[in-house]
Amino acid sequence: MNIRPAQLDEVETIRALFEDEVRAGRMLPRPAEQIAGAIDDWLVAADEDGRVVGCVSLVVFNRRLCEVRSLAVHPDYRGNGLASKLVAGSVDLARARGLQRVLTLTRAAGLFEKLGFRRDFVANFPEKVWRDCAPCPFRHACDEIALLFDLA
């Protein structure tokens, strides 16, 4: 299994990885144009035949802070450490870009804690609150936990 940058012709495959979550009302759909427009910020996990089975993205807020987002692994491939490798890859990407802090909001807090993320509060990140939380339709019933990885 290979963790590598996503390619433009993989946008629909990436979107399909979120279908179940979107259908279950746990995630908002990601427009294809939004993924394509930031394709350099996406990593995918691909098997030996090149089939994309997992993805993650890095969203940059400013010169210091970014967020690991849109983590998903195809149900047939879960439980093999792929999500952990994708998150580690996105932290490496943040480090390579000179960023200092990596935020995530997730229902899978244990996964991130095993990788060195520490629990925090989303209110400590107004960049995130104003850009994403304020307009989010799930904001009154948010069950996501904020965690931070400090690269500095």
Ligand X SMILES: CC(C)(COP(=O)(O)OP(=O)(O)OC[C@H]1O[C@@H](n2cnc3c(N)ncnc32)[C@H](O)[C@@H]1OP(=O)(O)O)[C@@H](O)C(=O)NCCC(=O)NCCS
Give residues in contact with ligand X (CB under 6 A): 21, 71-73, 78-84, 106-108, 110-111, 114
| Token pair in block for residue 12 | 């629909």
Between 121 and 152, whose beta carbon lies closer to ligand X? 121
Cα separation, 2 vs 133, in Å, equals 33
Phi and psi at 72, nearest 5°, equal -155, 145
Task: Provide, rounded to whole angstroms, the least separation between the CB of residue 150 and ligand X.
Answer: 20
Task: Provide, rounded to whole angstroms, the least separation between the CB of residue 85 and ligand X.
Answer: 7
Between 79 and 98, whose beta carbon lies closer to ligand X? 79
Enclosing H/E stretch for 95: helix 82-96
Task: Provide, rounded to whole angstroms, the least separation between the CB of residue 22 and ligand X.
Answer: 10
Between 81 and 116, whose beta carbon lies closer to ligand X? 81
In one-letter notation, the amino acid at residue 83 is A
Task: Provide, rounded to whole angstroms, the least separation between the CB of residue 98 and ligand X.
Answer: 25
Between 1 and 32, whose beta carbon lies closer to ligand X? 1
The structure tokens 């996990």 sit at 45
Alpha carbon distances (Å) from 50 to 44, 46, 54, 74, 139: 10, 5, 12, 14, 37
